[in-house]
Amino acid sequence: MNSTKFPKRISFRYLKGIFLSAVVASSSSLFAQGVSQTQVIGSENKAITTAVPFLMISPDSRHGALGDAGVALADNSNAIYWNTSALAFATKKQGYGLSYTPWLRNLVPDVNLAFVSGFNKISDRAGTIAYSLTYFSLGEIQMTDINGSPIGTAGPNEFSVAVGYTNLVTDKMSVGINLKWINSNLAAGSSAGLNTAKAANSVAADANYTYNTDFVMGGGKAAKQTGEGGLPVRFRFGVNAQNLGAKMRYIQTGSQRDFIPSNLKVGYSFKTQIDKYNSIALINDFNKLLVPSAGGSAQIPLLEGIFGSFSDAQGGTAEEIREINTSIGAEYWYNDLFAIRGGYFNEHLTKGNRKYATVGAGIKYQTLGFDFAYLIPFFANHPLQNTIRFSLNVNLN
């Protein structure tokens, strides 16, 4: 008998996989509802969910160790995620990176994120191009038919391919843009009643800006004029409007479409060379989802949802402010050979309640660099507990 006449039954593990994909980047709903119920009593859970939340996972170890901050500090191939325009100030001609993150490993053993990136500086006048591939796997899922009998396995996955370009506007300012294609294949071919799932696709863009300047702090008027005797400081300010793109549809019939995680990153950093061997950088990011406060499934036009995201919260301005996540981080380098990093990420109680510290380290030898990061949640049984990241970078002249 033709099995397509009957709805397939998706096993519990498969449903879990789809659910995890919906909360995988923010872990907001899962955490606020199931991890710390006592902390949200009297507070309504208004965590915002979207399609393809894997786009919001910090893909590399360096910035993962800085509290997921990086819009004003990125300076290698990973900048295509954080702020492509920062590559206009890169001192290297080309660079390549590979990062791997076992994700939600406290809940499932085979969910992971891989990130491959690179950049090439054409020339000082012609600018710099960048490119990346982000691949998110939800592992192997056992499928069953309507009677619960095994019918095979599936490997739901999502990925994004991005190409970016940046160039200097002045000697202190640069702009950049990324174009990306996004694919989400969570339950293609599965059906429930008259609804048949399909792989969803979207195209999106990032627009970013960097301001970079050097100055001398302390040492008096003479130090400011000569650059000697004071503390040299590099200040950067960065803005990145990410994932500005079309909604995604997972069902072949019907009009249901979900917002992708359009996001606005704004941040600054201070980096100083204390002496010949020691330097330190401080960084602070602010993130705001450009998605309706009602959630990514809200059936309103795309542009209305993006621009209206600054004023559509039921709680008014106070709730809009609560939708802003904060990241802070610090990075110490010794002789440009060894780095120690730490950071903190904060999300409001009613918007997901993610609060965690991050630590990490990096080693650089000639053109090669290796970075490691570890996440330390502030609450027991946090879904992001034991999150680790590994990154390898190559920078060439």
Q: What CATH number does the domain containing 347 carry?
A: 2.40.160.40
With H, G, I as helix, E, B as strand and everything else as coil, classify residue 34: helix
Q: Measured at the alpha carbon of residue 301, what is the angle toward residues 297 and 306, in degrees to the nearest 5? A: 80
pLDDT (tens place) for every residue of the chain, 397 residues total: 333 332 333 333 333 344 344 334 333 333 333 333 334 444 567 888 899 999 999 999 999 999 999 999 998 999 999 999 999 999 899 999 999 999 988 788 889 999 999 999 998 889 999 999 999 998 887 777 677 777 677 788 999 999 999 999 999 999 999 999 999 998 765 655 556 777 899 999 999 999 999 998 876 565 555 556 678 999 999 999 999 999 998 887 667 889 999 999 999 999 999 998 999 999 999 999 999 988 878 888 889 989 999 998 888 999 999 999 999 999 999 998 999 999 999 999 988 889 999 999 999 998 999 999 999 998 877 888 889 999 999 988 8
With H, G, I as helix, E, B as strand and everything else as coil, classify residue 229: coil
32: containing domain: 3-396
Cβ count near 188 (within 10 Å): 15
Q: What is the tally of structural domains in the chain?
A: 1
List, in sequence order, every residue forming a beta bridge with 373; answer none if it has no partner: 360, 389
Buried b (16+ CB within 10 A) or exposed e, 260-286: bbbbbbbbbbbbbeeeeeebebbbbbe
List, in sequence order, every residue forming a beta bridge with 266; answer none if it has no partner: 239, 286
- Residue 218, CA distances (Å) to 37, 68, 213, 234, 334 in order: 50, 31, 16, 14, 23
pLDDT, position 36: 36
pLDDT, position 220: 58
CB 218 within 8 A of CB 230: yes
Q: Which two tokens stand for residue 76?
A: 């290698």
The model's pTM is 0.84
> Residue 193 is which amino acid?
G
pLDDT, position 39: 43
Q: Determine the distance from the C-alpha atom of residue 13 to the mean position of all C-alpha atoms in its chain, rounded to a whole number.
A: 26
pLDDT, position 47: 86
Which segments of the chain does DSSP mark as H helices, in order? Answer: 12-23, 28-30, 37-40, 61-64, 79-82, 220-226, 302-308, 316-322
pLDDT, position 23: 38
3-state helix, strand, coil in the chain (%, to 5): 15, 45, 35
Q: Measured at the alpha carbon of residue 361, what is the angle toward residues 356 and 367, in degrees to the nearest 5? A: 140
